[in-house]
Amino acid sequence: MSYESDLPETSSYSPTAVAISAVGGIALALVSVWWAAGTAVFYEGLFRISPTVDGGGVGTDWVVGNTVPWLDFLIAFIHAADVLMGLFILLMVFVHWGAFRRLAAQMQDPEEERREAVATDGGETE
Amino acid sequence: MTNLDHGKFTRVTTTFHSLLALDVFLLFFTGYSLTFNDELWWLLTLMGGAEGVTALHRVAGFGLISLIGFWAILMLTTDTGRSNFRAIVPTGDDVRAFIQDVQFVLGNADERHPNAKQFAGGDHESIPLLSYIGKGVVFIFAIELFLLTISGLLIWSKTGLMQYFGTKTAAMAFVVFHGLLGVIMLMGVMFHVFEHGFHPAFYPVEPKAFIPRELIPETHADGDISDLTLAPSWNTVSNVMGALTVVGIVSVMIGSIFDEGYPVPRELTVGGGPEHLLLTVGINAGIFVLFVGLVLSMYGNLLRVRWERRLEEERESGRTTATDGGTPDD
């Protein structure tokens, strides 16, 4: 494109590499989904919970009838990870929120600029 | 548009970022309207109920695997890609940047560490490609997306998973694990939206991730942040978005502790109880933050299109007026 002609040369990715990666990515997705789906992709209906099912049917919590102890652990672990990461992310939000407020205080006040604009016709600025 | 030392990513990176964002937002909207279906019943209904949403979720999942595969191959097969690995490895400076950020907020430091700066002013050489937050985002999101893809593929076909584990509850447990795992990323993306949308110098969106470096001239702004004018709406909007981000993060975190049954009941039930009303409002606040992120991502691309058009106009006028020795106006 014309407007790019006199812009600086920057190292980028070659179109061939991009094309090969794109084909590779789609191929990976196709193989993964083919492997995961087996012969039946849409079996959601089979497992949809009916809230009326009593006492340990498909409709109850996954814990009921679970016989795999490490799945219990996995879910307890991810609960802990959610809470710990959540608190950490909250800390990050507050640190950045605070930093942004300090940075904003260093910037020009929008009101100030309006006053300066008035000053061009001879008015006085503070 | 100000020239704020931005133009650090290639065109491929910026395009990839936008596509990944779109895909991940779709995965969030579909996945969490299932997990938090009693709080987000309207979203679930809007996208075609449980059947429609699971189909959309799978389509987006396919897209995610394609994007991950594309990026992994590109990073490994190209020199530019491999050279970037050095730039994303966290260093001691990143830890110092975090500590200095806390000091900065408390008023004990005068400025942010170079590894924390999004606004670089005139001194662009000392500012790394990614801030310490950027490096964290790359690592945490990469690990999360990988684990989510693996667990997502495992539960793609529940009957397939049951062949491995022998029980339905094991398959259901994997669904729960997948949903809970995504909560970390959901909270991270809310923070990501806040961090890159509401920096006072870049408000309403930081253009770094949208305007590729080949389109940014090598000259950099001389001044520092005190030369810039704050947008009149920044104060109000950043406070509202900050509050919504905090409420959203807290709510999905609490929701993730309660919601661990199989995600979608056959008949939708809107949860009851006053404490649940709070959670419903909070989770919807979080989803609103994601919607804002989606809009800002589109706005970033709009900025790129405008920027390209302006560059083109400058080239055009440069050719016509500069012939007689005049300099084209800005």
Q: What's the residue count for chain A?
A: 126
Residues in A touching B194 (Cβ below 8 Å): 93, 96-97
A63 interfacial to chain B (CB closer than 8 Å): yes
With contact defined as beta carbons under 8 Å apart, do B178 and B153 qualify? no
Residue B99 CB coordination number (10 Å): 13
**DSSP-derived 3-state class of residue B229:** strand
- Quick one: pLDDT at residue B284? 95
Structure tokens at A59: 């409709």
Residues in B touching A48 (Cβ below 8 Å): 50, 264-266
Which among B1, B15, B18 has a CA at the least distance from the CA of B294?
B18
Give ∠ CA A80-B57-B293 in degrees, rounded to 5: 70
A7-44: string of b/e by CB count within 10 Å (b at 16+)? eeeeebbeeebbebbbebbbebbeebbeebbeeeeebb
Q: On the CB side of A84, how many CA atoms lie within 13 Å of its CA?
A: 7
Distance CA A117, CA B319 (A): 34
- Quick one: pLDDT at residue A123? 47
Give ∠ CA B60-B137-B102 in degrees, rounded to 5: 145
Distance CA B30, CA B24 (A): 10
- Quick one: pLDDT at residue B45? 86
Which residues is A49 bridged to in the sheet? B265
- Quick one: pLDDT at residue A100? 94
pLDDT over 50 at A52, yes or no: no
Which residue has better confidence, B261 or A27?
Answer: A27
> Which contiguous run of DSSP H or E holds residue B330?
none
Give the distance from residue B252's alpha carbon to the nearest chain A alpha carbon, in angstroms: 9
Among A97, A112, A115, most B C-beta atoms within 10 A, so best to mutate, is A97
Which among B43, B28, B114 has a CA at the least distance from the CA of B270?
B43
A18, A49, A95 ranked by CB distance to B102: nearest: A95
Going from the C-alpha of B85 to that of each of A69, B78, B258, the distances in angstroms are 38, 12, 39
The per-residue pLDDT for range A99-123, each reduced to its tens digit, is: 999 999 988 888 765 555 544 544 4
Omega cis (within 30) before B204: yes
- pTM, two decimal places: 0.82
B78 interfacial to chain A (CB closer than 8 Å): yes
Going from the C-alpha of B164 to that of each of A125, B147, B155, B160, the distances in angstroms are 77, 18, 11, 7
- Percent above pLDDT 70 for chain A: 56
Q: Is A36 within 8 Å of B156 when comparing Cβ atoms?
A: yes
Per-block mean pLDDT, blocks of 10 residues, chain B (330 long): 61 93 96 86 86 91 96 92 86 93 92 80 65 90 94 82 72 86 95 94 88 74 76 94 97 84 52 70 95 95 92 80 48
Residues in A touching B65 (Cβ below 8 Å): 25, 28-29, 32-33
A21, A61, A96 ranked by CB distance to B77: nearest: A21
Distance CA B26, CA B40 (A): 14
A15 interfacial to chain B (CB closer than 8 Å): no
Interface A–B counts its CB contacts (< 8 A) at 286
Q: Is B62 within 8 Å of A33 when comparing Cβ atoms?
A: yes
Going from the C-alpha of B259 to that of each of B4, B35, B163, B195, B255, the distances in angstroms are 44, 7, 26, 28, 6
**DSSP-derived 3-state class of residue B217:** coil
Q: Is B77 within 8 Å of A68 when comparing Cβ atoms?
A: no
Q: On the CB side of A103, how many CA atoms lie within 13 Å of its CA?
A: 28
A31 interfacial to chain B (CB closer than 8 Å): no
With contact defined as beta carbons under 8 Å apart, do B285 and B253 qualify? no
Which residues is B229 bridged to in the sheet? A108
Which among B236, B227, B241, B235 has a CA at the least distance from the CA of B194?
B241
pLDDT band (50, 70, 90) for residue A57: very low
Residue B308 CB coordination number (10 Å): 16
Going from the C-alpha of B250 to that of each of A94, B265, B275, the distances in angstroms are 13, 25, 14
Which residues is A108 bridged to in the sheet? B229
